Amino acid sequence: MIPVIALVGRPNVGKSTLFNRLTKTRDALVANFSGLTRDRKYGEASYQEQRFIVIDTGGLSGDEEGIDAAMADQSRLAIEEADLVLFLVDCRAGLTASDEQIASFLRQRSKPVMLVANKIDGLNHDVATAAFYELGLGEVHGIAAAHGRGVTQLLSDVFDTL
């Protein structure tokens, strides 16, 4: 089976930017995958010879009223559908309450999660990612989705984990 990877995180962390980078122009190819709904955006991508499906989510409400409010239904469904979740945070904005709520939700699931700190362009990797180790999700993978920095290494780590 082709692996499915969900992009999850609060609004504005760069999920759609990463989705577009991963899928390039090929997102239409999976429009009719059975069982997939239109609430989430699906795209096809590849790393080396391996194809995978990426799910972009509209993100979370940004509302800080607890986990149910913070996790939009579509994000939860995307997590259920996925073999692996990329949980994006924004190293320019730093660690937020929404990030902590999403992390708490993800830690309660058995789904493999990789924590991705986006927007490290112009920043020192270790300094920019340090704050996010507090989320308790293991290694923090620094990337700049808009520029591509760290993305190949991220995919290498994803396929090592799958």
Query: Shortest Cβ contact with Mg ion: which residue?
Result: 16
CA–CA distance, 27 with 23 (Å, rounded to integer):
6
Q: Does 21 bind ligand GDP (CB under 6 A)?
A: no
Residue 118's DSSP bridge partners are: 90
Find where tokens 């069982």 sit.
35
Say if CB 48 and CB 153 are below 8 A apart. no
Residues 131-150 that bind Mg ion (CB under 5 A): none
Separation between Cα atoms, residue 40 and residue 58, nearest integer Å: 7
Q: What are the φ/ψ torsions at residue 137 (nearest 5 degrees)? A: -115, 25
Closest among 96, 154, 95, 161 to 129, alpha carbons compared: 95
**With CB cut-offs between 5 and 8 Å by kind, which of Mg ion, ligand GDP, none does residue 12 bind?**
ligand GDP
Decide: is 40 part of the binding site for ligand GDP (CB under 6 A).
no
Return the residues of window 48-77 that contact ligand GDP according to CB under 6 A: 59
Distance in Å, CB of 88 to Mg ion, minimum: 10
Which one, 19 or 105, has the nearer CB to Mg ion? Answer: 19
Size of the site for ligand GDP (CB under 6 A): 16
Q: Which of 4, 5, 8, 13 binds ligand GDP (CB under 6 A)?
A: 13
List residues near ligand GDP by CB under 6 A: 9, 11-17, 59, 118-119, 121, 144-147
